[in-house]
Structure 1
Amino acid sequence: MSITRPLLSLAILVLPAAQPSAAQERVVLEDFETAPADRWSKAADPIERLGEAARTGESGGRWNPGPGSSAIRTAIPEDWRSFAALRFSVRPHAAPTALVERTLEVRVRERGGRHAWWRKVSVPAGEWTEVELPLWRFRQAGSPRWTEMESLALAARAPGPIDLDDMVLVPGSAGEASHVLPDEEGLGYAFPDRAYVRRVHRKGPFRLFTDAREVDAGLFLDEMESLYGDFRRIFAVEEPPPVAPFDLFLYREESDYRSLFPGLVRRLYSAELAPPEADGMSVGYLAASSHDPGQPLGRPVFLHEMTHCLLGYHLRLPSNGNWLQEGAATLMQNAKRPQPDLDEQIQKMLEEKNHVPLARLFEAERLRPGPLYLQAMTFLEFLRAGERAGSFASFVAGWREGKKTGELSRELLGLSGDDLDRAWLEFCREKYR
């Protein structure tokens, strides 16, 4: 069930800082030269126009966000259909925690939309980086509608100054696909020098790519489609599946999975990734693992990883290893492949007090594999049990809107703090005995 989820920039082309071509046609959103920086009018922490913050020209923008702060710009073109990408230059200063890398979220919102469609950008601190985000990477199930764009926002995941310059929309086509399909060249990078690679796609929302002859693709996809049906039922998903399928890469050799996955991600998503330490990994809408001959349906970790993909698509949740991601993935994995000693492991977690106050669990950015995964899973089971089950769909709707679990628990259950902890513990002692 363990997974390593490093910081990475999905679907982002990170370029060395270079002078933009004068001949290139573009639409300038912000150059911090011709318009005041206060056009980011809803920024909780203002963006200042400073000469020392410039990459090109006489001035750039310096933003000094607090933790979780965002800067929102509504002065943008309404119709983005004739643009292919958003490009900007960024130079993060070292954060107070001495991070060598800083992470931003770039968010776009359509008019009247409840949700922001976002992509994560991780760049080195202390130097200029030019980032290019293809617009089609923001699309999910037909949204956003490029004819009705309302705002562009930057969100900081850690405090500390960030310099910005030359934010432009690059001409082209915004595109209508939900995400990229692996092309022949990309598959060649994923499975080099393989005489045998199968690609299996039925009517369901999954495609399997494997170089393992002994894999029963039909059984494998049956289980994935069953997982998807259970996921849609449990999390009250009504929207249709994505336009393009979720991709599953199953390698014959474990060493191939660990060595080739970084190359695959680099090729398909223009991102850098260290070789995975876990038995499986997911990035965006792609999950990968290696084949275990003793498990004809594939490793249970595939169920765990695909749940991360489904949560990202349908609930718009970042795959950063928080309690909801790991709790839901553990829940769905055990629903399909029950862990034989699950009750005993949960009893041990309770008896040895290998759990934390729920308020801390909700706020943790990333959970360590182990007892906290079980705690997160049991809290979801707690929410789905008894009279609370009627409120679970409202919890899911709240999570989709970015509401915090503690707030939802007070609003929907009338429980918070120690009262919520006691109710959860009582549920666990009764159910897992």
Structure 2
Amino acid sequence: MRAFVLHPDIKSNPSRRLPEHGLAEAVSLAAALPAMEVVGAEVVRLPRLHPGMLFGSGKVEELAARFKALDVGLVLVDGPVSPVQQRNLEKEWGVKLLDRTGLILEIFADRARTREGVLQVELAALSYQRTRLVRAWTHLERQRGGFGFVGGPGETQIEADRRAIDDQVIRLKRQLAKVVKTRELHRAARKKVPFPIVALVGYTNAGKSTLFNRVTGAEVLAKDMLFATLDPTMRAMVLPPAGSGPGRKIILSDTVGFISDLPTQLVAAFRATLEEVLAADLIVHVRDIAHPESAEQAADVMDILGSLGVNKATPFLEVWNKVDLVDGTAREALIAQARQRDDVLAVSAVTGEGVDALLERISQGFDEATTQRTLILPFSDGKRHAWLHAQGVVEAETQDESGWTLSLRWTARQEKRFRDL
């Protein structure tokens, strides 16, 4: 389908991003959909939003002529569009229109593969559609004649559709609750295993899956494309030894990429998936350091992590990926800057540069300081007693009528896991 992308730059609502970069991202989003041919793109500067048609009447007429000349069938507006604005613009232009939320939902619907992913996307799409029922019944607008206090068939039809969507939402939520319960059971099972969890997070297309594949040997889809990964993937791997002993085993998690203005429906629907990050012992924030708005992307990621309730005490490591795409002195300056910080590493997931140093840094991070502690457990707490022995933190143990008295040496991470059992 031939598509045209519009990025409204509203003077009264400034963004942290340059409008040209916002337009480029919107074009990349459009290109992520199969069979989509982007034939044009434009930043439309507006002093304010027009409630009826988003743009002024002159601009609407100008764009209508251009769309007709280019044989455009779909217009993508990179921002929120109200149902009334969408209806009016589609009527004026004679095209199908999608706003940013609708476009991202289309991409997610195309990419979801697991049962959980499909359910999450369906739930988000229904929540979005419910607010836009007004569009579907424009042919019944004139039915409301006579006295205004009696609703006609159009109103009845909209209400019937709304009830049908609500019933479908309830059904999907029940199905998703079962899947979420399974995920919680898997998460609880992993808590019993003495392997730390490392979560890769970052803006979409920052290179998380490429890095994940390089260090684990997995074959997760990795493309230069927004939202190449939707379904989280976890792999066990062995880190290089930090000292003379064997390498530590960890579980590495590749998560869905974040994006600015991520639709609220998707944040809600994918919360169970994103909550994998909450269980992590280490969060690795992968940044596309070659992107002109890398800092703004990083700020968006941190905003979303904050909205998820990620514990600020969780250890954090920042990876400046794609240094192979940075040239000359700028590249040298980036690498020098990264070396001056303990929580940053410059790498290239494609060439492998810096990846060994990253794994060593992760390994060192888990060789934490230990503290000694005496703990009294009742005999009824056999589950936690067995977990402590499985962790290898018990140095001595005695018993009396009150239970076990344990002498422990453990890390802060192990103590946190124990409290969560």
How high is the TM-score relative to the length of structure 1?
0.26
| Larger Rg computed on CA atoms | 2
